[in-house]
Amino acid sequence: MTSSTGSTPRSSIRRHLDNLAAAKDATPEERQRILETVRQEAQDRRRTRPVPRWLANGTNRRALALLAAVPFAAGAASAFMSPDSGATLAVQAAGAVGLLTGILLLRRATRELTELAAAELDERELQERNRALGAAYVTLLVCMFVVALLAIADGPLLDVAGWKPLIFGLVGTAILLPSAAAAWTWDDVDEEHWPESGVQ
C-alpha cells in the first residue's frame, strides 16, 4: 500500500533516515535546511492523509470538540479536592487523557488547520481558521473569567484546596481550543477526502 505522496512507508523511513544522516555531517545552515525539509515533508504527509469517515462527520467532530472542556473541568474539580486523595489523582488523570486524546484526534479531524502558517492555507481555509480562532478566543476569555470569579470567591464563599490543578487545566483547555473551535465550526469534509476503505 502506498502513501498519498506516492512512496511506501519503508521508502519514506529510509529517506527520513538519510536526511538525518546528512544533517549530522552538514554545516549549521545546511542542517537547518535539511531539518526544515524533513519537518515539511512530515507535515505534508499528515495533511494529505484521508480523514476517516467518522471524523469527517460534523456531528462526531462537534462531539470531539467537547474534549477541550475536559482539562479545565478536571482542573476545576480537583482544585476543590484533597491534593493527596486517590480520587483527585483519578480526576487529574482523566484531564490529562482528555488533553492527549484531543490533541491527536482534533488535529487529525481538522487537518491541523489552526497549526499551519497562513501561507500554507488557501482562502477558504484561512476564513475557516480565522472564524475558529475567534471562537476559541472568546471561549478562553470566558474560562479566564470563571477563574477570576473563583479567585474572588476563594475564602469568603469557597475554599479552593489548590490553584495549580485549575491553572494547569486552563492551560490544557487553551491548547485544545483552537482545534476544537475549528472542529465545531468547520464545514463537513467532502466525500473525496474519505478513505477508500470506508472506515466508519
* C-alpha grid cell, residue 9: 512507508
List, for the chain, all residue ranges whose pLDDT scores fall below the cut of 50.
1-6, 190-200
Q: What is the pLDDT of residue 68?
A: 94
User: Please, what's the b/e burial string for 44-54 (b: 16 or more CB within 10 A of its CB; e: otherwise)?
Assistant: eeeeeebbbbe
Asked if 48 and 4 count as a contact pair (C-beta separation under 8 A), the reply is: yes
pLDDT in tens, 173-185: 999 999 999 998 8
For the chain, what is the HEC assignment? CCCCCCCCHHHHHHHHHHHHHHHHCCCHHHHHHHHHHHHHHHHHHHHHCCCCHHHHCHHHHHHHHHHHHHHHHHHHHHHCCCCCCHHHHHHHHHHHHHHHHHHHHHHHHCCCCCCCCHHHCCHHHHHHHHHHHHHHHHHHHHHHHHHHHHHHHECCCECCCCCHHHHHHHHHHHHHHHHHHHHHHCCCCCHHHCCCCCCC
Q: What is the pLDDT of residue 18?
A: 66
pTM above 0.85, yes or no: no
Q: What is the pLDDT of residue 96?
A: 95
Q: What is the pLDDT of residue 42?
A: 65
User: Please, what's the b/e burial string for 148-168 (b: 16 or more CB within 10 A of its CB; e: otherwise)?
Assistant: eebeeeeeeeeeeeeeebbeb
Q: What is the pLDDT of residue 114?
A: 82
